[in-house]
Structure 1
Amino acid sequence: MKDQATPGNGPEATAPRRLSTRETAERLGVKPETVYAYVSRGQLSSRRAPGGRGSTFDAAEVDALAHSTGRRTPSPAAGDLVFRTGITLIEDDHYYFRGVDATELARQYAYEEVAEWLWTGELRPGVRFTAPAEALSAARRAVDALPAHSGSTDRLRVAVAAAATADPLRFDLSREAVLAGARNLVPTLVGALPMVGTAPPAAGETEGRAAANGAGLARQLWPKLTAWPADEPFLAALDTALVLLIDHDLAASTLAARVAASARAHPYAVVSAGLGVLEGPLHGAASGLAHRMLTEVLERGSAVPVVADHLRTGRRVPGLGHRLYTAEDPRARALFTLLAEVPQAAGALAAARDVVATTARHAPLHANVDLALAVLSVSCGMSAEAGETVFAVSRTAGWIAHALEEYGERPLRMRPSGQYGGPRPPQPLPTATGEPPQ
């Protein structure tokens, strides 16, 4: 545990929540114009939003009006990809895990503590996850058999499949069985990854001893990412990153995980589905592009030529912008604040700020979490794919949380209909062309 506190007891838990006009209209089941009609009739009070953009409304007052009018938020139509979830809320450039500010959680608690709380609602200070010997051995053998050029996500996918074979009870989807498997799977994934270089994770501490001594997941993951000896400030930053990345609403990989859970796939298969999507360059692998960009900025001494090259070739400047935030990604802001206190990160952090300032001349884009992960990986001598590894290990807990939710829903409910655009029947049978294969 980091600093002693209790989720839900901070100032965010007591301040009345404000809704935007759009959110108010959705909650009442009316058009935005009707919301202002309620205001003009004195049925709702409004307040100007910060910066003068639109109005905000008291959530309790809106709920009371919804109750009195009999209006309710309309349910999504069949086939719509809108799912009720109690895990993550993103609004007003902040994000929350079960109503608690996620960046505050990351400052106060370790990864395992937050994952356990997210799964069960119980805060267990000092909780540690342990990899079963049989599952870890199977995962390591499978990972060791891969070609040397295999990436970390390749290894993680193989490790998940191997760990599944070592768990004959994986088809038990009861809550207790899923939680037990999740607590075993996360450290198994970390333990199956090969060490980087020859430097120990801390003075006189081997990997096996670290796990046996109940070391936190961040300390176990550290030697899988860099050959540098473990440094407490950087370990704290890594642990914070792990917490920040646990979940982010229905991102592409999480949607894939929920589809698998809807089909009642076991938790290992759910995680495999998430990993398959995470590897895309627009998702988990995006931090690698930002890492390479920051490395080039440091080599060339300025972001100007690097950003110019991206713009000249029509490439996006990596690590900037997020469709869910109008300002800086709160995950990036939390990591930047922590890394600003670490002298060894000063160079990479300055390079990241230079990229943001340079790009702002062309487009007002803010830093996202991929850029912050790149600052961490560049500062610690990690490879370009280290951020993707951190992302994948962390998000495993989020996928499990979504699987637990989805197992409680009607099975196979995610069955959208395709809009056929091919030739209309009846069509003639195809005829063979060319020479038959030899």
Structure 2
Amino acid sequence: MNDQPAADTARRLTTQEAARALGVKPATVYAYVSRGRLTNRRDPVGRGSTFDAGEVEALALRSRREAAAPAGELSVRTSLTLIEDDRYWFRGVDAVELASRYPYEEVAEWLWTGGPRPGARFTAPPEALAAARRAVAALPEHSGPVDRLRVAVAAAAVTDPLRFDLSEEAVLGSARSLVPTLAGALLELGAPAGDGAPVARELWSRLTAADPEPRALEVLDLALGLLTDHDLAASTLAVRVAASARAHPYAAVSAGLGALEGPLHGAAGRLAHRMLVEVLERGGAAPVVAEYLRAGRAVPGLGHRLYRGEDPRAGALFGRLADLPQAAPALAAARDVTAVMARHGLHANVDLALAVLTVSCGMRAEAGETVFAVARTAGWIAHALEEYQERPLRMRPSGQYQGPRPPQPLP
């Protein structure tokens, strides 16, 4: 690296010069370096870094092209999740293998930082947890899981004086406290987990009154890890739009939860749970599936637009559920559903596998939504962290006006 010709040295920029050329802060220049978008070299004379002028100019050009892209052509750079050939990876690592080998907390840390954090544990600050629990307890009894989580996020946010600090260190601190706060704020149904318990154990007592059998807890932890992120789903895009406007991480998570309230994203687990219960009650999938098809309704828990075959998350959960004796009836019902629908070319997705878990462990129909939302909070934070390093307000497409041309008379 030190044997470059003098001409090359003359074309190098200081950090301040690179920042001006890119239209960003100096800290963002180093963020580009850490994400592999720029390379730097220590200045042998000064104490800073220098940057190749051509590389900086190329990055600035790409940024200008992105800013000028027409509406409908938004492209979001991300180093988090790749979905390809019926598999998915977190930062280049097979996500199924990662979630199968490491607990949810360590999967989250990998997604946030790209580095291992063995033995990671998340702790809810007492003040935030107390505020979130009071807020959730004040809701009507019929409130849904996402209702409760949105209120818990808002309550936790106002107890965090550092929420407006968007530095990586501060955002990570908020993330490590928010996830357990969400799990701990929900109403308790079973035996308390105790202080410092893993997220899966804390969440278990909010989902079912059943005893936390170790193998069942392992399946829940696996589900959390598998669901941590899944590229740019609707809720994740909402999070990135909020982060682009420099909303603090709690507000960004609230945006994700808002998108999750829609019937087309996040609610399928509840439908799959109810379908499995009906299959078990009627002794077979054929009559249940027939009623769905006759009514022109999609059979829940089947098909995914990003996978041609079985959702890899479903495959991993089915494999672990097969070792859970109490899951055998629900697992057989799920297999029956997929066999009946095989002629339509539809395969099981993660909602069907989640339904096997929720049915077999005595959880309510909405438990799958709760698992999804708590798990995905870590992914939303990861995307917010990425977006904070991008140009502010870049996700501002232009509207294609199709109304009457002005001037028009006043009504």
Whether TM-score is above 0.5 comes out as yes
SS at match of 2:401: coil
| CA-CA distance at 1:121 after TM superposition | 2.1
Q: Which of 226, 247, 250 in structure 2 is aligned with 1:268?
A: 250
User: For 1:235 and 1:322, how far apart are their aligned partners in 2?
Assistant: 26
Contact 2:70-2:398 within 8 A present in 1 as well: no
Say yes or no: does 1:321 pair with 2:303.
yes
User: For 2:139 and 2:366, how far apart are their aligned partners in 1?
Assistant: 17
* 1:107-256 alignment runs, 5 A limit: 107-196=100-189, 199-200=190-191, 207=192, 210-212=193-195, 214-256=196-238
User: For 1:191 and 1:419, how far apart are their aligned partners in 2?
Assistant: 45
Corresponding position of 2:4 = none
Corresponding position of 1:81 = 74
| CA-CA distance at 1:164 after TM superposition | 0.5
Per-residue CA deviation, residues 67-101 of structure 1 (Å, 9 max, x unaligned), is xxxxxx99763542211100000000000000000
Q: Which of 376, 382, 389 in structure 2 is aligned with 1:401?
A: 382
User: For 2:98 and 2:178, how far apart are their aligned partners in 1?
Assistant: 23
Say yes or no: does 1:410 pair with 2:391.
yes
Contact 2:269-2:351 within 8 A present in 1 as well: yes
User: For 1:150 and 1:402, how far apart are their aligned partners in 2?
Assistant: 28
Per-residue CA deviation, residues 135-186 of structure 1 (Å, 9 max, x unaligned), is 1111111111111110111000000000001012110101110000000100
Moved more, 419-428 or 142-151: 419-428
* 1:17-36 alignment runs, 5 A limit: none
Corresponding position of 2:284 = 302
Corresponding position of 1:381 = 362
| CA-CA distance at 1:112 after TM superposition | 0.5
User: For 1:386 and 1:88, how far apart are their aligned partners in 2?
Assistant: 25
Cα RMSD over matched residues? 1.6
User: For 2:367 and 2:263, how far apart are their aligned partners in 1?
Assistant: 14
| CA-CA distance at 1:360 after TM superposition | 2.0
| CA-CA distance at 1:281 after TM superposition | 2.1
Q: Which amino acid aligns with 2:104?
A: Y
| CA-CA distance at 1:418 after TM superposition | 1.5
SS at match of 2:266: coil
Contact 2:208-2:364 within 8 A present in 1 as well: yes
Contact 2:244-2:387 within 8 A present in 1 as well: yes
Corresponding position of 2:55 = none
Q: Report the identity percentage.
A: 75
Corresponding position of 1:90 = 83
How many residue pairs end up in the alignment? 348
Say yes or no: does 1:334 pair with 2:316.
yes
User: For 1:282 and 1:374, how far apart are their aligned partners in 2?
Assistant: 17
Instruction: Specify every segment of 5 or more residues in structure 2 that has no aligned partner in the other structure, as ranges.
Output: 1-61
| CA-CA distance at 1:279 after TM superposition | 2.1
Q: Which of 90, 101, 105 in structure 1 is aligned with 2:94?
A: 101
Q: Which amino acid aligns with 1:244?
A: L
Say yes or no: does 1:359 pair with 2:341.
yes
Corresponding position of 2:5 = none
Q: Which amino acid aligns with 2:109?
A: E
Runs of 4+ aligned structure 1 residues displaced above 4 Å come to 73-76
SS at match of 2:88: strand
Per-residue CA deviation, residues 349-369 of structure 1 (Å, 9 max, x unaligned), is 1111111111123x1100000
Q: Which amino acid aligns with 2:172?
A: L
User: For 1:82 and 1:341, how far apart are their aligned partners in 2?
Assistant: 42
Q: Which amino acid aligns with 1:416?
A: P
In structure 2, do the counterparts of structure 1 residues 211 and 127 end up closer, same or farther at CA, with 3 Å as the change threshold? farther
Q: Which amino acid aligns with 1:128?
A: R
Say yes or no: does 1:291 pair with 2:284.
no
User: For 1:231 and 1:425, how far apart are their aligned partners in 2?
Assistant: 68
Instruction: Specify every segment of 5 or more residues in structure 1 that has no aligned partner in the other structure, as ranges.
Output: 1-72, 201-206, 431-438
